[in-house]
Amino acid sequence: MTRSTLEREVVQILRTCVFSGSDRDVPTDCPVGKLGLGLDSLALVEFVTALERRYHVVLPESLWSEGQFTIRQLVDLLEATLPPATHRSRRRPLPSRWRHRADNAPYWLLFRERFQKQGFIRTLWWAYSSILSRLLRRCYSRSTFVVLARELDAFCAPTQLGAPNLELREIAHADFPSLRSLWPSHSNSWMLDLFHKRRDAGFICLVAVRDAEIVGIDWLSTTGDHSHETGVTILTRNRSCYGLDLYEKYSGEGIGLALLTYSLTEAKRRGFDTQVMYVDSRNIQMLSAAVQLLGFRMIGSIRTTRVFAMRSSRWQLEEPASAPIVMLSRGQSSE
């Protein structure tokens, strides 16, 4: 790959993942941060992550926070980091059915891809460390969740975010049988039980439907709910609603973003002043979309430590007296 081709690819990735496909001018000698092209920390993280996924490299951590580098400097760094073209040419691409869902690809397929790129010894070490890491994650994990809020009085749904061929609406009773094909088989029964419990409790269920198939689901609660993921109970107040468990069956197709946009529109129509939700801090794509495109702002954070099945959480809210939610651990009272 020539330098000019690499430079064009990097600019195109920037336009696609940060500028929503805009053809705006991107000077290669201008810093990408706030004093240059205007990328904030979330957009910068999304851009660097997209580059690492595209070129299978690990870039220095300083790029995630500084934002003082230019496109030209970034291309220099990529040229020094990328393996020789002869090695890249031997790589076989993932089958088309897995390209947009590489994390869900069969383990043998990921092993084959690693073997073709790095050889037997490195692949064997990767497999060992990967299996050990998964076992450790089942026993112990630490997670940080960002709590976001969006005031709805001036919200207007962006027209460019609509996913094609999607019908967005509240779920109907006739849709219930098709829910069995929405979730993976190992969690299907549990999710169906939770679905009916939430419906009985008055939660609002919104769905995305394509070709008579439910491909996404989102929940709105007027009172709040206990989050199994964080171990914290979130209670709404001050005419706010709580958006939870946004799920898209096919990732990378804009279903989740379209459903979240519709959820905000529906919450405004029903008379709510604010919608709140939390997002895993590692989900850079959703965080960036929520802040950059939909106007959410950060109002707090939740830090959760899990040891086997036991969870403990600490949280922080900005201006808790006026916050649209209250967070409680088990055993606490809302009084």
The domain spanning residue 157 has which CATH number?
Answer: 3.40.630.30
Which of 90, 122, 155 is where one domain is finished?
90
Asked, for residue 13, whether it belongs to a domain, the answer is yes
What average pLDDT does the segment 36-42 reach?
A: 73
Asked, for residue 56, whether it belongs to a domain, the answer is yes
Which of 57, 90, 123 is where one domain is finished?
90
Full residue range of the structural domain in which residue 11 is found: 1-90
Asked, for residue 130, whether it belongs to a domain, the answer is no
pLDDT band of 237, cuts 50, 70, 90: very high
User: Do 195 and 291 belong to one domain?
Assistant: yes
pLDDT of 146 above 70: yes
User: Do 300 and 153 belong to one domain?
Assistant: yes
User: Do 206 and 266 belong to one domain?
Assistant: yes
Question: Which pLDDT score is estimated for 65?
Answer: 56
What average pLDDT does the segment 275-280 reach?
A: 95
Give the residue carrying structure tokens 């898209």. Answer: 248
User: Do 74 and 223 belong to one domain?
Assistant: no
Asked, for residue 102, whether it belongs to a domain, the answer is no
Asked, for residue 115, whether it belongs to a domain, the answer is no
Which is higher by pLDDT, 250 or 103?
250
Asked, for residue 127, whether it belongs to a domain, the answer is no
Instruction: Give the integer Cα–Cα distance in Å for 253 and 257.
Output: 9
Question: Which pLDDT score is estimated for 155?
Answer: 92
User: Do 86 and 145 belong to one domain?
Assistant: no
Question: Which pLDDT score is estimated for 159?
Answer: 67
User: Do 54 and 183 belong to one domain?
Assistant: no
Asked, for residue 197, whether it belongs to a domain, the answer is yes
Question: Which pLDDT score is estimated for 53?
Answer: 81
Asked, for residue 248, whether it belongs to a domain, the answer is yes
Which of 55, 90, 125 is where one domain is finished?
90
What average pLDDT does the segment 279-283 reach?
A: 87
User: Do 39 and 159 belong to one domain?
Assistant: no
Question: Which pLDDT score is estimated for 102?
Answer: 40
> What's this model's pTM, rounded to 2 decimal places?
0.66
Q: Residues 157-201: pLDDT tens digits?
A: 876 555 668 999 999 999 999 998 998 887 888 999 999 999 999
Structure tokens at 113: 């891809």
Domains in the chain, number: 2
- Looking up residue 77, the CATH number of its domain turns out to be 1.10.1200.10
